[in-house]
Amino acid sequence: MERRDFLKASAMAAATAAATRAFDKESHAADAPGKDDVRWDKAPCRFCGTGCHVQVGVKGGRVVAIAGDQKAEVNKGLLCVKGYHVGLALYGGDRLTRPLLKKDGVFKPISWDEAIDIIARRALANPAGFAVYGSGQWTIPEGYAANKLVKAGLTSNQIDPNARLCMASAVTGFISTYGVDEPAGCYDDLDRCDVVILWGNNPAEMHPVLFSRIIDRRSRGEEVTLIDINTRRTRSTAFCQHALTFKPNTDLAIALGIMHLLVEKGTYDKGFVEKFCNFRQRTEPPTLDGKAMTFEEFRKALGDYTPEKVEEISGVPAEKIRLLGDLFGRRDLKITSLWCMGMNQHTRGTAINDLVHGVHLLSGHFGKPGDAPTSLTGQPSACGTVREVGTLAHALPGGLVVTKDEHRKEAEEIWNLPAGRINPKPGYHTVEMWRRFCKPADQGGDIDTIWVQVTNPGQSLPNTNEIFYPSRKIPGKFLIVSDVYPTETVRNADLVLPSAMWVEKNGMVGNSERRTQQWFKMVEPPGEARDDCWQLIAVARRLFELGHPGMKDKDGNFLFSMRKDGREVPVWDFKHYYDINVDQQLFEEYRKFTRFKHKDLAPYDEYTRARGLRWPVVQQKDGSWRETRFRFARFDDPYAVKEEIQFYHSVTKDDRALIWFHPQEPAPESPDKDYPFWLCTGRVVEHWHTGTMTMRIPQLRTAMPQAYVEMHRDDARRLGISNGEVVIVESRRGRVEMPAWIDGRGQPPPGSLFVPFFDETVLINRVTLDAHDPLSKQPDYKKCAVRVLRKEPPGRTP
Amino acid sequence: MSTDDLPGGTEPPVPPAPSSARGLHIGIAGVLAIAAIGFFTGLRGSSQEVGAFLASRPTPTATIKARSYSDTRRGAWGPNSALYPALFGQLSAAPALSVPVPPQTAEDRLASLELRARRRAYDGAPPTIPHQIEQRDAPGCLGCHEQGATVAGLVAPKMSHPRLDNCAQCHVVAADPRPFAATPLPLTSNHFAGLPAPSGGARAWNNAPPVLPHSTHMRTDCASCHGPLGAPGLRTTHPERQNCLQCHALSATKDQRSPSGKPGPVGWEPVP
């Protein structure tokens, strides 16, 4: 449905109401929307992966107000401070409004035609060395267009997203356990559970709307037990009955300790395990399939993880491990586990994800409302655009992969490509892509161009001193950045494209609970800023014109050909981009992929009416579309038909999930004599990721204007550091300065530090480590070894 | 749990524990137990002005604009910020509803609306906090703001919405958190122009009760702004009447309830 038709339909629907209003205009004047009144429309919030819906108030072509959407099931009318101020993100004074090309170190404005031509010629000159670095903030149609451009067009598979840094271990955890990605449960579990376990998670700041959904139940008289398994005390801890602080990297031992107790005490759910689970152990080198083990072998392997042994490893008192073991051993409680970056940004990310799923499966706390292991996402469309559209180096849309012949064949059919077009070799994962960008061509640096969209790797990649900045000094390396503000990445770019953002364009995203959401463009972007999706299609078209054979399907038509009333619409010409709903065109094509892994999506029009729908969305006999809240459960999931639970994408092809054993192991870098502190990085409630939007919102920036290092008072006293004093945090890789905060918002235990990464003047990722999980390739931002130095007192020369 | 024993610590001492807060005149026992976590609040100066009865229905002509970026940082503090950290001895409960409320003037209304706008990005935005808070634990806020209180002539307004415990989810402090040195002005600019607050509700005729000029979403407790502890220019002349919606009509449009009850975007119904 086009926007115009939609307005027309609304007009008819409202005609009766309008007539009633006109009848007594005088006395109802206050309630009748006037010509100059604020117009409200729905959109998902631009920021995190919770997926709250906001109502956007538009007046005079500008966003003037925001309200929590009372019809949204996710947030039920409530938002967080970022969401309430999301409209201000559009109006920072330094929006990028013209394409800019760096010449002799200075940015010069150029035309869009020139910019698109430069990009196309870089791709034409060396298609294999041209990489796209995308984002979990790409809309679904944007990610789909980029994926098709790279995998069907350039056929290099050189595309990977920033979600590699954020969600990859959750993905490998789901795939290795259930054979298919994304959570079985949903946010409804939060309304039904008796116990919530936070695994290295601080939702009071990072997913505040979901956290309120839990704690507000207490205000209504319900009982919910919250248990915080953490490495530092946070605002979430304040709301928890139990806080278990563990030594960094020992979370595996805690999960193994729970499993040990369940098995030894016989309190695991025998019926569930016998019917629905197999056991698995890892191989060397590790794979997602591992190798089978018997229950007896599993029990034996767990023997090392007695509560006392776990206390020794993790520092968590044995009695607290027993508390967790006892809770999971009870059938009368409903338990939901929540996690996000703490478990994912981990060199053993896949393993800890597997183990937490395993604890739930072993104890049968699965598949009933309130009983769920639920991974949360950090970006608005890490699920929708990255995991579902498959904008990863090895993936195709809909959960397909380039390495499987039959998957490539399916994709070639949907994309109408000649057989054999899609390259079976995966591209480089994020860290590898940037490492190769940072090396000269003759030293294995075979990536020479990266086009970055909707993300800020100059601030968010780990160990930037090694995998970002060096590329800026190597001749022939060309960095293209599409963004809305001058970020750290933009400043280091060779070519800058000004983008439209959020309600300046149409969009669709997918949140943490499999909910696909849609919005319409509401205001015009500033200056010459244009949609990211248009930029991708325009480059594809330019390549088509320049004769790149990959930009044609097998009938010789342009890859992104769109037709209206039988005639091709030249969407690559921005004047005509909104002549047709490009989002709808791309989405309807993408939908064909979603049936392979039972991730069925509804037609576009359904999403224009709903506040998102959770997949699989399956059409009913009466023609209506029904969403699925609880996956793999027969009472709700239309694809689970055999037993009450059916893992219909089982790795072992027997409808069973896998319970894994992974041993505890040390971190790649631990504190020592020279670098005696653990460093953990993360977020704060006011700012979202690298702060490029929220640091331009006065209310948010004023509340939290700069990054800081949280440290324990005993460490501060020992080093003679006073509260608020500017200190140096240094690792083997880099150093940054920032004020110390003692007894601040979070309180790390002695020997641990915390630094948020939102502040572009405190680039903490110059310090972090790029060591990553062997399967997910996701780096560990939560643990590396650093030291803290006082600056020389003023007036004293060294 | 004091922080002033740290080397070079610059923080003021933590407020006294409940045991030292003797002689409090407070109606609800237990409120202080939470308040003692840290930091009590209050923000509005109380008005002693008394105007004529007729002035209780002022019709200001000026529109209250949302604040510019630079304005937001200037004057963000309320008068209580200087009183931190301890005036518990003067804490008192909200006045009884039978206490007569002085009628308001048009000037009162304008001043109150301006003060209100100063702490909001647009009408309907959650207000920023005009004093420092305990950054660790949000629930301390409820000590003063759950029921509202006055302290040394200052008012800690009652929250306008149902109890929500994670206060700092929506409300943030309007200045650099202690102990950091203030970041220098100017920051990057922002050209957002927020929806102005309405200056009053429409009346069908001269003496008719005004309809609500704003949404009631997150503003379900009218007394928060219009009760005896409300800003002088916004107070009702008849606080003893508790059933506000008996006489003052809601707006389905402003509350974003689509008249048809059907799901779908709200507010897109075109004007006749």
Instruction: Clarify whether A341 is annotated catalytic.
Output: yes
pLDDT tens, position by position, A511-525: 999 999 999 999 999
Write down the pLDDT at residue B77: 63
Q: From chain B, pick out residues whose CB is under 8 angstroms from the CB of A518.
A: none
Burial (CB count within 10 angstroms: exposed 0-12, middle 13-18, buried 19+), residue A336: buried
B81: confidence class by pLDDT, cuts 50, 70, 90: low
Per DSSP, chain B holds a count of helices (H) and strands (E) of 5, 4
Fold classification of A168-376+651-661 is Dimethylsulfoxide Reductase; domain 2 (3.40.228)
- Does residue A140 carry a pLDDT above 50? yes
Q: Is B237 on the interface with A (CB under 8 A)?
A: no
Residue A693 annotated among the catalytic residues of the structure: no
Cβ distance A133 to A164 under 8 Å?
Answer: no
Closest CA–CA distance from residue B236 to any residue of chain A (Å): 20
Q: What is the three-class DSSP state of A3?
A: helix
- Is A67's CB within 8 Å of B217's CB? yes
What is the per-residue pLDDT for B250? Answer: 85
Residues of B in contact with A13 (CB under 8 A): 260, 262, 269
Least confident of A256-260, A749-753, B32-36: B32-36
pLDDT at res. A8? 44
Q: What's the complex ipTM?
A: 0.83
Beta-bridge partners for A726: A739
The CATH classification number of A3-90 equals 3.30.200.210
Q: Which residues of A355-374 are buried (b: 16+ CB within 10 A; e: fewer)?
A: bbbbbbbbbbbbbbbbbbbb
Chain A interface, best mutation among B3, B180, B187, B220, by max A CB count within 10 A: B180
Q: What angle do CA A417, A420, A424 make, to 5 degrees?
A: 115
- Domain range summary for chain A, segments of one domain joined by +: 3-90, 102-156+414-505+528-580, 168-376+651-661, 677-790
Q: Are A537 and A153 in contact (CB under 8 A)?
A: no
Beta pairing class for A225-230 and A625-626 = unpaired
Q: H/E/C letters for each residue in A535-551?
A: HHHHHHHHHHHCCCHHH
The two structure tokens encoding residue A628: 């699925």
DSSP B90: G
**Chain B CB contacts of A57 below 8 Å:** 122, 195
Predicted confidence band of residue B246 (pLDDT cuts 50, 70, 90): confident
Band (pLDDT 50/70/90 cuts) for residue B69 is low
User: How does the average pLDDT of chain B come out, rounded?
Assistant: 68
Q: A699, B173: Cβ pair inside 8 Å?
A: no
Mean pLDDT estimate for chain A: 94
Distance from CA of A238 to the nearest CA of B (A): 6
Q: How far apart are CA A595 and CA A600, in angstroms?
A: 5
Q: Which helix H or strand E contains A670, and what residues bound it?
A: none
pLDDT at A29: 41
Specify whether domain A677-790 bears CATH 3.40.1410.10. no
What is the pLDDT, as a whole number, of residue B255?
80
Residue whose structure tokens are 């518990």? B88
Between strands A726-730 and A735-742, the pairing is antiparallel
Query: Using CA atoms in the order A711, A715, A720, A724, what is the torsion angle rounded to 10 degrees?
Result: 10
CB B227 within 8 A of CB B98: no
What class has domain A102-156+414-505+528-580? alpha beta
Question: Rounded CA gap, A417 and A217, in Å?
Answer: 53
- Tens of pLDDT, residue by residue over B7-43, are 333 333 434 443 333 333 433 333 333 333 333 333 3
In terms of average pLDDT, the best of A86-95, B191-200, B222-231, B245-254 is A86-95
Under a CB-based contact definition with an 8 Å cutoff, are residues A535 and A145 in contact?
Answer: no
Active-site residue flag, A82: yes
* Min Cα–Cα distance to chain A from B115, Å: 16
Whole-number Cα distances in Å, A329 to A334, A335, A674, B40: 11, 11, 44, 43
CB A217 within 8 A of CB A334: no
User: Model confidence over A186-198: pLDDT tens digits?
Assistant: 999 999 999 999 9
Mean pLDDT for the stretch of residues A620-644: 96
- pLDDT > 70: percent of chain A: 95
**Is pLDDT of A370 > 70?**
yes
Q: Is A306 exposed, middle or buried (0-12, 13-18, 19+ CB in 10 A)?
A: middle
Residue at B268: amino acid letter: W
pLDDT confidence bin for B92, thresholds 50/70/90: low
Query: Does residue A616 have a cis peptide bond before it, meaning omega lies within 30 degrees of 0?
Result: yes
Mean pLDDT of A206-221: 94
Give residue A354's pLDDT. 98
The confidence score (pLDDT) of residue A587 equals: 98
Residue B234 contacts residue B109 (beta carbons within 8 Å): yes
Residue type at A656 in one-letter notation: R
CA angle A531, A535, A538 (to 5 degrees): 130
Task: Answer whether B118 touches A (CB < 8 Å).
Answer: no
Instruction: Assess whether A747 carries a catalytic annotation.
Output: no
Q: Is the pLDDT of residue A619 over 50?
A: yes
Q: How far apart are CA A776 and CA A17, in angstroms?
A: 54
In angstroms, the separation between the Cα of residue A53 and the nearest Cα of chain B is 11
Do A3-90 and A677-790 agree at the fold level? no
